[in-house]
Structures are given as structure tokens and as C-alpha cells.
């Protein structure tokens, strides 16, 4: 009951602090929640998520978008930007940009975001892990909010909309409510959230994430338990996010929560592969029958 009340209080607060939900995290372009739904946060179950720019202004253009992933009780899962931090396959498989009509613009890229928008220095040489959050605001922890200030009474051109609701307490309340089999405040408490940041760059010739446009991100392998995704970016070309450019962020109500077992769909075997597989099983069956007859 306490957890439910805490989460309800957190979500109510998020809706009263100037929360235009400018960067929404959905389940992938073409899904029901791609452009927003009442997930609070939204559950991402397929190993694919999208970042949707909810602002419709034609002047909005985020050239460099940051995907921020927080992992409860992290043990270095994405330390070097690869699955399980093992130096193997990249955590992100593909980054694709779509226009407001969900038509593919092109394939972008991802990499380290060190120093962008005033982002604090990463704690690993690979440049993806930014330390463990144990209290306070996530955007402030990463030094991302414009002027290091988040909205508390309403947003303006010097504050990151939605940023104030992204706190350690609100995040773990959402985890306890949506992932009771993995986390609970008594038997499996969350004591830290490992923070990872990936830079998403648009394809050549594209200006970036515009009004009502999407970035679709496909992951490799299984996500860690309770990983949650938010985003950040500034319009214009000022990578320090100072001066005129406006910052855009994700409130807790529009974040994406990846339950344990979220996995990128496995590729469907080609017909030739299926034939070989069937032949192999047939041969195995014949071998077993021969052994049985000999006995």
C-alpha cells in the first residue's frame, strides 16, 4: 500500500510541475504506445523502443539526442557499451529515424556522448557508464538540465520540461509497483541505479529529431531486470545547451520500463536453414531407431 501511494504521489506531482512530456518513450514505431499512452511509465517488452518528440513546433530540431538507461542495482551490465559488458555485441543494434508520418527517413548511428550538453564525464574508458545514482534528480546527477536546474513550478526556456519528476525516489517507486517479482523495498530493495548514456546521431542529410518525429532503437539480447529509459536533447546547434536553444526531457510518466526478459525478436530462419534443420532431425531420428533395433 505504501509503495502504491508513493508512486501515485510521484505521478501526481509530475503532472503538476509543467510536464509537457516532450520526449516520450514508446514501444517502437508502429506500436500502440509509440506516440504516447497511459503507461506511467510505459512497459517496453520487445527489445525495441522509440523516442517520440511530442512537441509539434516546426522550429524544434534536436540534432543530438541522448538515450539514458538506468539499471537498478547495476553491476556493470553495459560498462563498455556491449551486452553484459563482455566486449561482444553492441547493446544497440540499430538506430532509425522516422518522420511524423512514421515513414523511414534513414538509419542513424550511436556512440559515446561524453561532454555533450555539459554531460558529466563517464566513469569508464568506453564512455557509456556515468556512475550510480543513489538519491536526487537524474538529470542533475548527469549535469544535463539547462543551467543545472529542473522545473519545479512550471517550465520556461531555461529549464528542462518534465525533468523534475525524474528522481531516484520516483524511479524506484515505479520499479516496486511494476516489477514486484524482481524488486520490493523489504526483500529486494533498490539501493542504486547505474546510469548509462548513448548518443543517437541522425543519418547524413537529416537535421535530427523534429516535431512529432521518432527515433527507433533496437537492442541486442536480453535487457537487464527493470532497465528504464529516458531521453534528453536541445534544439539548435548549441551542444552546450546554453543561450537560446531549449532543452527537452522525459518525465517519469513517459519513461520506458523494460521488464526482465525483454528481448530483441530472433530472426526467422531462412527456408534453406529450415530444410537443413529438418534433415538433421530426420537423420538423428534414424540413428536413434537403429540403436533401438540393435538393442
Q: What average pLDDT score do residues 268-291 get? A: 44
Q: Taking the mean position of all CA atoms in its chain, how far away is CA 191?
A: 20
Q: Taking the mean position of all CA atoms in its chain, how far away is CA 195?
A: 11
Beta strands in 142-246 (DSSP E): 193-201, 209-210, 214-219, 227-234
Q: To the nearest whole percent, how much of the chain has pLDDT over 90?
A: 31
pLDDT at 19 over 50: no
Which three-class secondary structure state does DSSP give residue 37?
Answer: coil
Q: Is residue 129 part of a domain?
A: yes
Question: Which stretch of 23-32, 102-111, 215-224 has the lowest confidence by average pLDDT?
Answer: 215-224
Give me the phi and psi of 63, to 5 degrees please: -70, -45
Q: Name the range with the highest mean pLDDT among 9-23, 75-89, 174-188.
A: 174-188
Q: What average pLDDT score do residues 173-191 get? A: 91
pLDDT at 280 over 90: no
pLDDT at 224 over 50: yes
DSSP 8-class letter at 231: E
Q: Is residue 269 part of a domain?
A: no
Q: What is the pLDDT of residue 79?
A: 65
Q: What is the pLDDT of residue 128?
A: 84
**Which of 192, 217, 224, 188 has its CA nearest to residue 202?**
217
Q: What average pLDDT score do residues 220-226 get? A: 74
Please give the tally of structural domains in the chain: 1
Q: To the nearest whole percent, how much of the chain has pLDDT over 70?
A: 65
Q: What is the pLDDT of residues 126-162, one digit of tens each?
A: 678 888 999 988 888 888 765 444 444 444 544 554 5
Q: What is the pLDDT of residue 185?
A: 93
Q: What is the pLDDT of residues 40-80, one digit of tens each?
A: 788 888 889 999 998 877 778 888 999 999 999 987 777 66
Q: Is residue 271 part of a domain?
A: no
Q: What is the pLDDT of residue 97?
A: 98
Q: Is residue 119 part of a domain?
A: yes
Q: Taking the mean position of all CA atoms in its chain, how far away is CA 204?
A: 23
Q: What is the pLDDT of residue 216?
A: 97
Q: What is the pLDDT of residues 243-269, one digit of tens each?
A: 556 778 888 888 999 876 555 443 434
Q: What is the pLDDT of residue 265?
A: 43
Q: Is residue 290 part of a domain?
A: no
User: What confidence category does residue 186 fall into, taking pLDDT thresholds of 50, 70 and 90?
Assistant: very high
Q: What is the pLDDT of residue 24?
A: 93
Structural contact between residues 127 and 112, judged by C-beta atoms closer than 8 angstroms: yes
Q: Is residue 67 part of a domain?
A: yes
The range of the structural domain enclosing residue 244 comes to 2-264
User: What confidence category does residue 86 fall into, taking pLDDT thresholds of 50, 70 and 90?
Assistant: low
Amino acid at each position: 500500500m505504501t509503495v502504491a501511494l508513493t508512486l501515485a504521489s510521484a505521478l501526481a506531482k509530475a503532472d503538476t510541475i509543467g510536464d509537457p512530456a516532450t520526449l516520450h518513450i514508446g514501444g517502437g514505431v508502429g506500436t500502440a504506445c509509440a506516440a504516447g499512452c497511459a503507461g506511467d511509465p510505459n512497459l517496453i517488452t520487445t527489445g525495441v523502443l522509440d523516442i517520440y518528440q511530442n512537441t509539434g513546433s516546426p522550429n524544434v530540431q534536436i540534432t543530438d539526442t541522448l538515450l539514458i538507461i538506468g539499471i537498478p542495482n547495476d553491476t556493470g551490465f553495459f560498462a563498455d557499451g556491449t551486452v553484459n559488458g563482455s566486449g561482444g555485441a553492441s547493446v544497440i543494434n540499430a538506430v532509425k529515424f522516422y518522420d511524423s508520418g512514421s515513414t523511414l527517413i534513414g538509419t542513424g548511428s550511436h556512440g559515446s556522448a561524453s561532454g555533450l550538453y555539459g554531460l558529466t564525464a563517464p566513469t569508464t574508458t568506453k564512455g557509456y557508464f556515468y556512475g550510480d545514482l543513489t538519491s536526487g534528480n537524474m538529470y542533475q546527477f548527469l549535469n544535463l538540465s539547462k543551467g543545472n536546474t529542473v522545473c519545479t513550478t512550471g517550465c520556461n526556456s531555461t529549464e528542462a520540461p518534465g525533468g523534475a519528476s525524474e528522481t531516484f525516489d520516483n524511479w524506484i517507486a515505479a520499479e516496486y509497483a511494476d516489477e514486484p517479482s524482481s524488486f520490493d523495498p523489504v526483500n529486494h530493495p533498490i539501493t542504486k541505479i547505474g546510469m548509462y548514456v548513448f548518443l543517437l546521431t541522425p543519418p547524413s542529410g537529416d537535421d535530427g529529431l523534429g516535431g512529432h518525429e521518432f527515433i527507433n532503437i533496437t537492442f541486442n539480447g536480453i535487457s537487464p531486470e527493470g532497465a528504464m529509459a529516458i531521453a534528453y536533447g536541445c534544439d539548435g546547434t548549441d551542444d552546450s545547451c546554453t543561450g537560446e536553444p531549449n532543452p527537452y526531457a522525459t518525465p517519469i510518466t513517459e519513461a520506458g520500463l523494460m521488464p526482465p526478459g525483454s528481448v530483441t525478436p530472433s530472426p526467422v530462419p531462412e527456408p534453406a536453414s529450415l530444410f537443413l534443420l529438418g534433415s538433421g532431425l530426420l537423420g538423428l531420428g534414424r540413428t536413434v531407431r537403429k540403436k533401438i533395433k540393435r538393442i
